[in-house]
């Protein structure tokens, strides 16, 4: 299984895991996107074309999947 080359430097997963109530959701997204389907990740697309430093800090990896996971986490 391919792993995203930006896994270790992606601020969304690296920095945001700290003391966040949505940690399980983010871990699920990380396992789904970083470890398998990273080419579908919005953050990967920008990082691979413009560099990791140009990825907006608040950009969700997959906005639709993230919103669904966050909604399920709240209920």
Distance in angstroms (rounded) separating the CA atoms of residues 62 and 56: 13
| Average confidence (pLDDT) over 32-51 | 89
Q: What is the pLDDT of residues 11-28, one digit of tens each?
A: 876 765 555 556 767 777
Residue 73 tokens, joined: 């986490």
Which is it for the CA torsion 50, 20, 62, 41, positive or negative? Answer: positive
Whether residue 67 is predicted with pLDDT greater than 70 in this model: the reply is: no
State the pLDDT at residue 1.
64
**How high is the mean pLDDT of the chain?**
77
State the pLDDT at residue 28.
76
Specify the higher pLDDT residue, 61 or 66: 61
């Amino acid at each position: 299984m391919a792993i995203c080359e930006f896994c270790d430097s992606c601020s969304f997963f690296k920095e945001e895991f700290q003391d966040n109530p949505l940690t399980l959701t983010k871990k699920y997204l990380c396992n789904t996107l970083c470890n398998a389907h990273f080419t579908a990740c919005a953050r990967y697309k920008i990082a691979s074309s413009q560099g990791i430093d140009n990825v907006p800090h608040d950009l969700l990896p997959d906005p639709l999947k993230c919103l669904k996971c966050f909604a399920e986490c709240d209920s």
